[in-house]
């Protein structure tokens, strides 16, 4: 039997796509690390590649200015070329200048840390953080950090206002949620929280990521009516007592609705 061979141009396309996917996963992981950066071994572990492969890719990216390495710590972080590209792309995609006032107001009124996040594929990415006046804070969420939909309160708020078919499709293609985040993130548990969020209008995360660190989120919709963004609050458990939750939820929903109207022009 003759060996099955693909045309060279198809092989090149597949191989090129694999390299792009690897590079993208590395850049996303570095972006999630904030200003501290990561060692090559930590990046390799996070993206599921060997350390030599990751190191070669990092060196190539550094040569183009996409990543940078701290000479003292050896840690890798996003580089200046991405800043330039991001500045150019911001003219089309950046909504943080619009959202900033809403985040600041939530932090000032509630005293909690307030955030603005955006959906990217099956994840949410934190874009803005504003500290509240309360001195004890939760540091689960910060600029650049990513969570799967349905895990943090922002992602739960967004997931809850997708159509039922979209929710089920996401759960079907995310079989590792329970393994990675615990049995409170089984498909059945997430479905229950989606229903609760729809009933309340806002999402509540009762310390499911870090014990004692609570979060609340409200979806923000784009001009087409899709839940693309979210406003959220985080803090320690005593600050989210049952008597206070409805008031915080109303404030979140008011700001989310106002921001939705603002984004729709």
Q: Are residues 81 and 117 in the same domain?
A: no
pLDDT digits 0-9 by tens, 123-138: 999 999 999 887 666 6
Domain of residue 22 covers: 8-85
Q: Are residues 155 and 195 in the same domain?
A: yes
Question: Does the global pTM surpass 0.85?
Answer: no
C-beta of residue 234 within 8 angstroms of C-beta of residue 141: yes
Q: What is the pLDDT of residue 78?
A: 86
The CATH number of residue 210's host domain is 3.30.450.40
pLDDT digits 0-9 by tens, 67-81: 889 888 899 988 888
Q: Which of 14-28, 190-204, 244-258 has the lowest mean pLDDT?
A: 14-28
The CATH number of residue 66's host domain is 1.10.10.10
Residue 9 has pLDDT above 60, yes or no: no
78, containing H or E segment: strand 76-78
263, containing H or E segment: helix 245-263
- Among candidate residues 54, 85, 116, the one where a domain is terminated: 85
The whole-angstrom separation of Cα 22 and Cα 51 is: 13
- The encoded tokens of residue 246 equal 């409805």
Q: Are residues 258 and 195 in the same domain?
A: yes
Q: Are residues 103 and 72 in the same domain?
A: no
Taking alpha carbons only, the member of 207, 195, 103 closest to residue 151 is 207
């Amino acid at each position: 039997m003759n060996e099955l061979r693909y045309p060279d141009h198809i092989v090149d396309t597949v191989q090129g796509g694999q390299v792009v996917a690897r590079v993208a996963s590395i850049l996303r992981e570095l972006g999630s690390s904030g200003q501290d950066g990561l060692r090559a071994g930590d990046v390799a572990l996070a993206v599921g590649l060997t350390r030599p492969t990751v190191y070669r890719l990092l060196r190539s990216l550094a040569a183009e200015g996409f990543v940078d390495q701290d000479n003292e710590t050896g840690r890798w972080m996003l580089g200046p070329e991405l800043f330039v590209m991001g500045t150019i792309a911001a003219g089309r995609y950046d909504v943080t200048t619009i959202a900033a006032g809403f985040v600041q107001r939530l932090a000032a009124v509630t005293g909690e840390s307030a955030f603005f996040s955006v959906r990217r594929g099956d994840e949410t990415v934190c874009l803005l953080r504003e500290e509240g006046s309360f001195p004890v804070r939760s540091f689960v969420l910060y600029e650049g950090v990513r969570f799967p939909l349905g895990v943090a309160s922002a992602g739960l708020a967004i997931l809850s206002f997708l159509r039922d078919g979209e929710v089920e499709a996401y759960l079907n293609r995310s079989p590792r949620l329970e393994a990675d985040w615990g049995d409170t993130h089984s498909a059945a548990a997430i479905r229950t929280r989606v229903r609760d969020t729809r009933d309340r209008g806002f999402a509540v995360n009762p310390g499911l990521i870090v014990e004692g660190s609570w979060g609340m989120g409200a979806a923000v919709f784009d001009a087409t009516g899709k839940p693309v963004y979210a406003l959220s609050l985080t803090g320690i458990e005593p600050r989210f007592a049952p008597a206070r939750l409805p008031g915080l939820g109303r404030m979140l929903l008011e700001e989310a609705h106002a921001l939705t109207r603002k984004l729709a022009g």
